[in-house]
Amino acid sequence: MVVAKRIQELRLLLQEHAHRYYTLDDPIISDSEYDLLFQELLVLEEEHPELVTADSPSQQTGAAPLAKFVQVEHRLPMLSLENAFNTSDLHAFEDRLLRFLNQDFSSDSLSYMAEPKVDGLAVEIIYEEGQLVQGSTRGDGSKGEDITAQLKTIPSIPRQLPRCPTPRLEVRGEVFMDREALIVLNHERLQKGEPLFANPRNAAAGSLRQLDPAVTAKRSLKFLAYGIADPSQTPCSSQDGLLAWLGSLGLPISDLARSCPSMVDVISRFEELAALRHSLPYEIDGMVVKINDFNLQQRLGNKARAPRWAIACKFPAIQTTTRLLSVDFQVGRTGAVTPVALLEPVVVGGVTVSRATLHNRDEVERKDLRIGDTVLVQRAGDVIPEVVKAIVEKRDGSEQPVAMPLDCPVCGHALLKAVGEAVTRCVNPHCPAQRLRALIHFTSRAGLDIEGLGKKSMEQLYTLRLVGDIPDIFILEQGQLASLEGWGRKSADKVIAAIQAAKQPPLGKLLGALGIRFVGEVTAAVLEQTFESLDQLRHSSLQTLLEIEGIGEQAAGSIIDYFSDPDVQLMFDRLKQAGVRPQAGKKAQTDLPLNGLVILFTGTLTTLSRTEAKKLVKDHGGQIATTVTHKLTHLVAGEKAGSKLKKAQELGKIILTEQEFLAMIRS
């Protein structure tokens, strides 16, 4: 029978992948691909109930505990959850609840809790008389691994509850790892030649399953409680009450959990969390929906592997697998040669991806990527897609090593990899790719922001040889532009007017637009405040630069090298002839409200653009920071502020709302 054969194939596949996911913490397919296989099995078994067997993955939870750990039997099973993938699935979930309860039961009588589905490892922690006595993994739902010593190394898990309302408390929750901690851990593993963790869940699981608790202690793990084994042992009658109660005992709970009076509210919260997910410091892969009332939960009961009263609604996948077809090498404006993966097109996070960054040649070599490999690709929010790792188990021998170029793929000049740097560079200053990227940067928003001269326009002008270097921009004529394909008289007039307006840029803005190595927005602003003119900066000594607060050796050396270049000197002569006159910044006034303050913005501002906010800081005597360091004095936190806010709080920096920042300026 064809259906029976397919069911058996799916069971074997799912058992193999579950073993790699739950036991080895080394999956070779993405979560979304596993979910598709599992859903196919569920549909076939629902259509053919006579083929359902007790050993089917649809009837089981998790995977068997590892033999290297002592096994712990859960007093009550730790069940899994059924999945939903869209609003239709959520409505169908509510319909099933109503059918099971009875025909007279109204949807108005149902209320829900919506909680973020943290991408981590489910654990049970047992307290006796308020003392932590045992901790274990979920395992197969009935038995888990004893990881008591490992869990005690996690700072957010209290070893002793301040008060113990019950003799025994079986707390259930999720152990997870922040995104930044995973990046640091994977970087360390890359350096050591160790396999990378594919996602935060695998990193958390791999960290907890260390026989040596000292290793676990180094892994920056966290914990959130979401329930207990038997709610009837508590004074709580609902899930929202239980979470508040757990929080009052000193257990960490999610501040993103929400009570939802109806399914409409549930769906609205799902959309809110989907929009919020990428700004969180940790990974959430969906939202768990639970009937709020414990009496109704008990009445609904459980199926073989999951409760009837709860469901996990998954977000669109941010990871999937595809084939690495080839590797392209792009040359940036500083000469950095970046390998870019050309992929078999695949949908990741709702977007079709065919290219992904590989960062540098060291990463290609450490990850042992080969042409023809099946690779795990991820994309989070607006972040550029990246290749996480190769799935070496799927190699068939036809894969070819990535050939790293010795010469620049654009100009043919020999490439150089400086000692201590990960980046390989083309050091030919006349490389066409570098010149074009430098021109695009110069006119972009990060540069002089010349309206009408975006990336496509600059590529067109460069290809037609109307612009070969920066001074050429300022001698363009209206007639040259108006006759070009895609242009007209009005658009040409606007661009010429924008170019004229850009001939007297602030000195700091010009320096940032020039793309001098190690001179970013903050350094350019410091130089603008220090020097009265561009000529004074051009003729300054290395010692003078090193004496400036905020200018390090790298930046100072780069500035000296830049202005000593004969081609750069000729460029400035041509800019002067074209009428470009940079304006020195006003000297800092000691009575300005932000004088001496170093301010960083994070999150989304509601009344100001980020550019306007930074200008306000500079105009009122302050300095702009790009990262959280000890020099930072204030952090302005907008909506959806993430890891920078947390780090600033840990360092004891002053945190301001947008309104408090504006009030400080008005003062």
Give tens-digit pLDDT for 90-113: 999 999 999 888 756 677 789 999
Model confidence pLDDT, tens digit, residues 609-621: 787 888 888 888 8
What values do phi and psi take at 233, rounded to 5?
-85, 0
| Catalytic residue of the set 5, 68, 117, 367 | 117
pLDDT exceeds 80 at position 473:
yes
Kindly state the DSSP code that residue 355 receives in the 8-state scheme: E
pLDDT band with cut points at 50, 70 and 90 for residue 9: confident
The pairing of strands 598-602 and 623-624 is: parallel
Q: Which residue has the tokens 């290793």?
A: 215
Average pLDDT, integer, range 186-214: 82
pLDDT of residue 631: 81
| Least confident segment among 459-463, 525-529, 558-562 | 525-529
**C-alpha neighbours within 13 Å on the C-beta side of residue 60:** 19
Higher pLDDT, 550 or 603: 603
pLDDT exceeds 90 at position 240:
yes
Tell me the three state secondary structure of residue 502: coil
Two structure tokens written together for 167: 């003799």
Residue 48 neighbours by CB distance under 10 Å? 13
pLDDT exceeds 80 at position 288:
yes
Beta-ladder partners of 604: 639
Residue 38 neighbours by CB distance under 10 Å? 19
Model confidence pLDDT, tens digit, residues 327-379: 999 999 989 999 999 999 988 876 788 999 888 888 888 888 999 999 999 87
Residue 290, burial from CB neighbour count under 10 angstroms (0-12, 13-18, 19+): buried
pLDDT band with cut points at 50, 70 and 90 for residue 292: very high
The most confident of the ranges 56-60, 120-124, 614-618 is 120-124
Two structure tokens written together for 220: 């920056």
Average pLDDT, integer, range 172-192: 87
Beta-ladder partners of 145: 71
Cα Dmax for the chain: 87
What values do phi and psi take at 363, rounded to 5?
-65, -40
Where would I find the H helices in 255-382?
263-276, 294-300, 361-366
pLDDT of residue 270: 94
pLDDT band with cut points at 50, 70 and 90 for residue 36: confident
Label residues 521-551 b or e (16+ Cβ within 10 Å = b). Answer: ebbbbbbbbbbeebeebeebeeebbeebeeb
Query: Distance between CA atoms of 509 and 502, rounded to whole angstroms?
Result: 10
Helices 200-208, 179-192: inter-axial angle, 10-degree rounding:
70
Two structure tokens written together for 176: 């997870």
Beta-ladder partners of 326: 342
pLDDT exceeds 80 at position 624:
yes
Average pLDDT, integer, range 582-598: 75
Helices 455-463, 432-443: inter-axial angle, 10-degree rounding:
140
Query: Distance between CA atoms of 108 and 620, rounded to whole angstroms?
Result: 55
User: Residues of the chain with pLDDT > 90: what percent?
Assistant: 49
Q: Going by C-beta distance under 8 Å and a sequence separation of 6 or more, which residues neighbour residue 172?
A: 78, 122, 123, 124, 125, 225, 226, 227, 228, 229
Tell me the three state secondary structure of residue 222: strand
Query: Distance between CA atoms of 662 and 667, rounded to whole angstroms?
Result: 9
Instruction: Give the CA distances from residue 621 to residues 25, 520, 533, in Å, rounded to whole numbers and listed in that order.
Output: 52, 19, 19
Where would I find the H helices in 277-388?
294-300, 361-366
Q: In what order do the strands lie in the sheet with 623-624?
A: 623-624, 598-602, 634-637, 654-656
Two structure tokens written together for 430: 């006349």
pLDDT of residue 104: 63
Residue 291 neighbours by CB distance under 10 Å? 25
Contact 68, 146 (CB under 8 A): no
Contact 135, 141 (CB under 8 A): no
Helices 566-577, 553-564: inter-axial angle, 10-degree rounding:
70
pLDDT of residue 343: 95
Contact 72, 136 (CB under 8 A): yes
Which residue ranges form the domains of the chain, and what is each CATH number? Answer: 2-59 (1.10.287.610), 71-314 (3.30.470.30), 319-415 (2.40.50.140), 432-577 (1.10.150.20), 598-666 (3.40.50.10190)
The pairing of strands 310-314 and 83-84 is: parallel
Query: Distance between CA atoms of 284 and 319, rounded to whole angstroms?
Result: 13
In angstroms, how far is the first alpha carbon of the chain from the final one? 80
This model's pTM is above 0.75: no
pLDDT band with cut points at 50, 70 and 90 for residue 47: confident
Model confidence pLDDT, tens digit, residues 408-421: 999 999 999 888 77
Q: Which residue has the tokens 């991806």?
A: 353
Average pLDDT of the chain to the nearest whole number:
88
Higher pLDDT, 164 or 647: 647
Rg of the chain, C-alpha, whole Å: 30
pLDDT of residue 541: 92
pLDDT of residue 1: 64
Contact 580, 652 (CB under 8 A): no
Residue 268, burial from CB neighbour count under 10 angstroms (0-12, 13-18, 19+): middle
| Least confident segment among 230-244, 302-316, 614-628, 649-663 | 614-628
Q: Is 117 a catalytic residue?
A: yes
Looking at 178-318, which runs of residues are DSSP E strands?
221-228, 258-260, 284-291, 310-314
pLDDT of residue 66: 58
pLDDT of residue 24: 62
The most confident of the ranges 8-17, 38-47, 465-474 is 465-474
Model confidence pLDDT, tens digit, residues 425-459: 999 988 999 999 999 999 998 899 999 999 999 99
Helices 432-443, 507-514: inter-axial angle, 10-degree rounding:
150
Contact 127, 164 (CB under 8 A): yes
Query: Distance between CA atoms of 559 and 598, rounded to whole angstroms?
Result: 23
Query: Distance between CA atoms of 75 and 343, rounded to whole angstroms?
Result: 48
Two structure tokens written together for 174: 């999720």
Contact 239, 113 (CB under 8 A): yes
